[in-house]
Amino acid sequence: MVEIDGGHLEGGGQILRTAVALSVITSEPMRICNIRKGRDRPGLRPQHLHGIAAAGQMCNAQYGGLKMNSTEVTFNPAKIRGGTYTIDTRTAGSVTLILQALVPIAISADSPVELILRGGTAVPFSPTIDYFRYVLCSMLRMYGVSMEVEVRKHGFYPKGGGEVFVRATPSVLEPVKSMDRGEANRKRVWAVASGHLKSARVAERMLKAFTGSEHDAELRCSYVGASSPGCFITACTEYDSGVIGVSSLGRRGKPAEAVGAEVANSLRRATESAASVDEWMVDQLIPFMALATYRTGEPSEIRIPALTKHAQTNIWVAEKFLGIAFKIEKDLLTCVRS
């Protein structure tokens, strides 16, 4: 049984998500303690609870300690099964954070997996659904991941109520060699606001603020049905061998112009380095880099802007389960068989 200290390094839910995914994929039972020790409210929250339950359902796992606020869980997986699974947080719990645990499992199944996730699609402290489908999924395609994402309804804090459909097919992960991102091909921007904010032209104002300092971008603006008012903007620059993206959420008291300008400035700063990805992408890619190297024996290499504590945490978890090791030299992150 693999023993995981959930309070290590970053000490958040990411340890739990990555550990559960790798436990399922390797068929290694695990026990994790001190869950989310580094957070103000330690233990399992709704999105963690439902994510683990869904992972367990996908592999007919046996587990203990799966209840709200629990700080210790045991998890004993069996064979991954394809099929359709519904995950409903009944809150504004982030669907993209749940997908961080379920996507690696889904592409490792014996047949296609369909996921119906209900919760928050753009909520604080998590990637927006547009970042997930337009930035992360673009990178995952370079690894050989085949996945479709459909947003059926958006969900904002506090009511949530969003719904996302994901279809993933069994995929053979390929090591990525992204030391040189190549030429910039295009820049894209998506501004999304709930219908509550249409009369205030919030989406258009976010875009106008973005284009005040950034030009030659493909712009999309939309108003969506949602149970709670909310807005966000996502932007990315696509290169030959990489994608750099950023997002920002609106909130009460923060002008739409400030949201758009924030994303423009963040994208400009993120593209100033020679990295192939943004700093938020690095920790999300680590499980896929590790699995590609674990399965093929070939190294994965990617040029990064920084190694955050989130990334270090995911590396620590991956090395617990897989016979791989990460090393960083200057800005080049490499995963090799150990």
Which residues have a catalytic role annotated?
310
d(Cα 214, Cα 208) in Å, to the nearest integer?
A: 10
Positions of E strands within 170-210 = 177-178, 184-194
Residue 56: its H or E element: helix 46-59
Helix-strand-coil split of the chain, %, nearest 5: 35, 30, 35
Contacts of 18 (CB under 8 A, 6+ apart): 100, 101, 286, 287, 314, 317, 318
Task: Assign 197 to helix, strand or coil.
Answer: helix
- Lookup: tokens for 191: 């501004």
Other Cβ atoms closer than 10 A to 111: 10
- Lookup: tokens for 40: 């103000």
d(Cα 25, Cα 239) in Å, to the nearest integer?
A: 31
Phi, psi at residue 112, to the nearest 5°?
-55, 150
CB 264 within 8 A of CB 214: yes
Task: Assign 6 to helix, strand or coil.
Answer: coil
Closest CA to 176 of 17, 11, 290: 290
CB 191 within 8 A of CB 223: no
Tell the residue number behind the tokens 């370079």, with chain if given.
142
Closest CA to 235 of 200, 266, 199, 256: 266
- Lookup: tokens for 5: 């200290």
Other Cβ atoms closer than 10 A to 258: 16
